[in-house]
Amino acid sequence: MSTVSLNAVSLNSKALRAMRRTRQRHRLGNIEWFDAAYRAYLVGIFGGGSVLWISSSVRDATVSAASAADFAEFAPPILGLLAAFALLVGLRGGAQGGPVALEAADVMHVMLAPVDRRRALLRPALQRVRGAIFTGAIAGAISGQLAGRRLPGSLLAWAGGGALFGASVAMLWVGSALLAHTVLARSSRVPRWSATAIGLTLVAWQSVAVYFAMDSGSTKVAGPADAFGSLALWGWRQHSTDLIATAVGLLAVILGLLLLSRISLEALARRSALVAQLRFAVTMQDLRTVILLRRQLNQERTRRTPWRRLQRITNQKPRTRTRALTRSVFRRGWHGLLRFPATRLARMAALSVAFGVLQATVVRGTTPAVLLSALVAFVIGLEVMEPLSQEVDQPDRTDSFPVDRGELLARHLLAPTIALLPFAIIAGAAAVITLGSIDAIAPAAIFALPNLIAGAAGGVVSIVRDAPDPFSADKQQSFVPPEMAGFGATIRLLWPIVVSAFGCSMVFILRVAVDNDGPLIGAAIRGAVGSLLLAVVVGYWVKVRDRIRRKFRAFMAEGRTQALGAR
């Protein structure tokens, strides 16, 4: 390379750095640093304080020596399965254009400027890697200190080992995504589906290792991600060979950064527009828009033809208008459910397995697992309630029907509830395998479906809560302090998850029966009844929500009128 070329490259790099510093100053110029520090202080105090308070309030008994030995044997392949899934998600995301996302101005101007593409992409890629590692380390540290309350070892050591495990899995995810984008997606000779095939092969291999690890009478099979799972146990014991997992994740990141110049410009342009909308939707707390944009980022499209075509409705008219409405809404709901792509069904099946494992973990004495199971059930509810979401997304069409909106939305719950049956079977089977007892089959068969329905009720609350307000014209602006507005927004965001957590907490009835050697069948029936009662309450709330809001606002308007008249 000539001296003139080297000087041009150096000049372009300096111009790029100066431009980004200027844009950063303009972006941060209107932000009060005192307010930013105050927000960070509140997040640190309330976030960290909440974690420590919840952790200290859990009084689970320490596991016995035999249970600890079994955990040390089974945990590495099971936790390694998480790393295998992270690798699968990373390969799929990279093949579809991830994980780097730039602003539209960078794509249009910087990427088309005479600047080395790897130099231009290095900073946003490092920011993506840094964010993934930080998130993974925080999640791992929280999980580690919770595990340390029941297992041998100090809480600090478990938090450190969990942070190392989370950071290694995060590096594996982001590194595999970069490699899939720069190697597989950019190669014309390698089909895009090969990334998914590689990931599924490794997940299947690791699943086989989990199966043989839990079967005491068979020969053990080493899984490709066992080192990652063993790394999570560093709060208890340390094996130097486990650092191979960290080295693999770090190597994947380094190779991905070295190949940044091969990133597709078309993929960056497509993702820049979607990511900008996604950030705005997150700021507005519009969860439905976030889900739709995430599906677009993953290039997830509904099937053109359903998995099975429904028979046409005969000309025989139902006896009542209510039956006609129920039948048409039920059929329309199944039309949408039968067009789910295979990727969404596989994702829901994997979430169902996680839900069953977490609920079985609660029965075995780990109380914090109920919160994770609530989050999983909440996501399942958002996925399966797609017919309800589609109805909410079209308010003009819904309001044009000569039917009360609550009546219509409540009938959209029937088809998704029935569609949860196969996923409840998967969750029940996963719970029975986790418990490792034949006696758990009958309680799981009774309790699985009602428990999953109750857990998914939080998704229903979230979807209906975000429905447009038909009485917004009569709504008057209320002025509240910013602190109260922020508190209200937080409650509004967490309330659906609280509903899911309440539904998943019915599993404690089974746990009490197991601890006291009580009848499991009776406990399962009581838990199922409680779960169904919660589901019925949520369904009734969907039906009468608009009526209650209408009466409340009429009452408030009447009060204001009387107050004005008294003056």
**Residue 1 domain flag:** no
How does pLDDT run across 496-540, given as a tens digit for each residue? 999 999 999 999 999 999 888 888 999 999 999 999 999 999 999
DSSP per position, 484-517: HHHHHHHHHHHHHHHHHHHHHTTHHHHHHHHHTT
Any domain includes 155:
yes
Q: Which of 267, 300, 333 is the last residue of a domain?
A: 300
Contact 460, 411 (CB under 8 A): no
Helices (H), 385-519: 386-392, 395-399, 405-411, 414-419, 421-435, 441-465, 482-504, 507-515
pLDDT for residue 475 is more than 50: no
The mean pLDDT value of the chain amounts to: 82
Q: What is the pLDDT of residues 86-139, one digit of tens each?
A: 999 999 888 888 788 887 777 877 777 777 788 888 888 998 999 999 999 999
Examine residue 405 and state whether it is found in any structural domain, yes or no: yes
Identify which of 80, 79, 99, 82 has the alpha carbon closest to the alpha carbon of residue 90: 99
Same domain, 293 and 386: no
- Domain boundary residue among 269, 300, 331? 300
Q: What is the DSSP string of 181-202?
A: IIIIIT-SSS-THHHHHHHHHH
pLDDT of residue 54: 63
The radius of gyration computed from the CA coordinates of the chain, to the nearest angstrom, equals: 26
**CB-CB neighbours of 112 under 10 Å:** 9
- DSSP result, 206-275: HHHHHHHHH-TTS-----TTHHHHHHTTTTT---GGGHHHHHHHHHHHHHHHHTGGG--HHHHHHHHHHH
The boundaries of the domain holding residue 200 are 67-300
The answer to whether 106 and 24 are in contact (CB under 8 A) is no
- Is 180 part of any domain? yes
Q: Which long-range contacts (CB under 8 A, 24 or more apart) does 536-540 make?
A: 538/457, 538/460, 538/461, 538/499, 539/410, 539/413, 539/460, 540/410
Eight-state DSSP code of residue 474: G
Task: Name residue 86's amino acid.
Answer: A
16 within domain boundaries: no
pTM of the model: 0.83
Of 139-153, 364-378, 551-565, which gets the smallest average pLDDT?
Answer: 551-565
> Can you tell me which residue has the tokens 């996963």?
430
Whether 328 and 274 share a structural domain: no
Query: Is 313 domain-assigned?
Result: no
Stated length of the chain = 567
Domain final position from 250, 267, 300:
300
282 and 362 in a single domain? The answer is no
